[in-house]
Amino acid sequence: MSVITHRTVKTNGIHLHIAEAGQGPLVLLLHGWPESWYSWRHQLPALAAAGYHVVAPDVRGYGQSDKPWEIEAYSMKQLLADCTGLLDALGEKTAVIVGHDWGAAMAWTSAALHPERYRAVVGMSVPHLGRAPMPPTQLFQQMFQDTWLYILYFQQPGVAEAEFEADIPKALRTIFAGPPGYDPMSPIVRAKKRSDGYLTGLDAPATLPAWLTEEDLAYFVKEFSGSGFRSGLNRYRNMDRDWHELPELATTKIHQPALFVIGEQDPGRAFAPIEPMKALVPHLREPVIVPGALHWVQQERPAEVNAALLAFLKGLPT
């Protein structure tokens, strides 16, 4: 089995911690919220064994990477510059970019705006929907009206941080393994009042699902005990800024080979449909819908996800 090694690299004026394995063409793996490089623990050795140089950073604000304080430091423009700078630091002209959750948004946007650096793209759990017709927070207020929505709850600095950091082990246990508080269609979420928090009405399960061991959870808890939640939440606070800063996403298509992977039971399927993506990503392969998986698809079903990734990678032009 390929050994995962760790180091720190400088990019875009900050330091990123990266986990890496293998040698060969570069595959960049980007995690989402609230995660870390560790979310790719099953993919790193599998892709390395197949002949790829696999790199999974702690995205800025997470784990052992730098954590700028300013909200605007987490704009999509800054995150994209981190990625291209990481390629430069690794001495690579191009890579296949793979992302999950917010990492998927980073991957899609990177492929759209820097096609010369990314020869193919894979998004997991979050499809590419281009540019919204209005700033996202306004759109969500229109769409969900009186329904509590986690994205809107996350907008006020300090509020969600205080809730999660009051008991980090319980918060992460609930987010990963409890009822999905990110599902606006859930009866639990629909019953919430505007003043409620993310964890209101959600129970932390006594027993974890098979895909997440107590040791896995302890790793995430350790990382967030060191970093806190502010930086990761600041990504949500840049959604409107991104809309203003990246108007080109309204018309730019992704022409590289592309793959979308999502869990069969991911609540996002209800309000972020796949079909509109096909016009924006003309070379999208047949989407992979992973049976039985929820949102944390590459952790929940690593064998199926690894198989999908390797089939996609092996089918790319050399």
Could you tell me the pTM of the whole model?
Answer: 0.97
Does 295 participate in catalysis according to the annotation? Answer: yes
pLDDT of residue 240: 98
Number of domains observed in the structure of the chain: 1
Most confident of the following: 111-125, 180-194, 270-284: 111-125
Measured distance CA(131)–CA(267) in Å, rounded: 21
Range of the domain at 210: 5-314
Sign of the four-CA dihedral 167, 173, 178, 184: positive
pLDDT value, residue 56: 98
| Domain harbouring 82, CATH code | 3.40.50.1820
Judged against a pLDDT cut of 80, whether residue 318 lies above it is answered with no
Mean pLDDT of 131-137: 95
Instruction: 82-86: list long-range contacts, CB under 8 Å, 24+ apart.
Output: 82/11, 82/12, 82/14, 82/16, 82/57, 83/28, 83/30, 83/110, 84/110, 84/114, 84/117, 85/10, 85/11, 85/12, 86/9, 86/11, 86/16, 86/18, 86/28, 86/55, 86/57
Catalytic, out of 101, 183, 242, 266: 101
Question: At 252, which amino acid appears?
Answer: T
User: Vertex 301, ends 297 and 302: CA angle to 5°?
Assistant: 100
Q: What's the confidence (pLDDT) of residue 276?
A: 87
pLDDT tens readout for residues 90-119: 999 999 999 999 999 999 999 999 999 999
- Is residue 194 very low, low, confident or very high in pLDDT (cuts 50, 70, 90)? confident
pLDDT tens per residue, range 23-75: 999 999 999 999 999 999 999 999 999 999 999 999 999 999 999 999 999 99
Q: Could you report the per-residue pLDDT of 231-260, keeping only the tens digit for each?
A: 999 999 999 999 999 999 999 999 999 999
Is 101 noted as a catalytic residue in this protein?
yes
Q: Predicted confidence band at 1 (pLDDT cuts at 50, 70, 90)?
A: low
Catalytic residue among 31, 53, 100, 295: 295
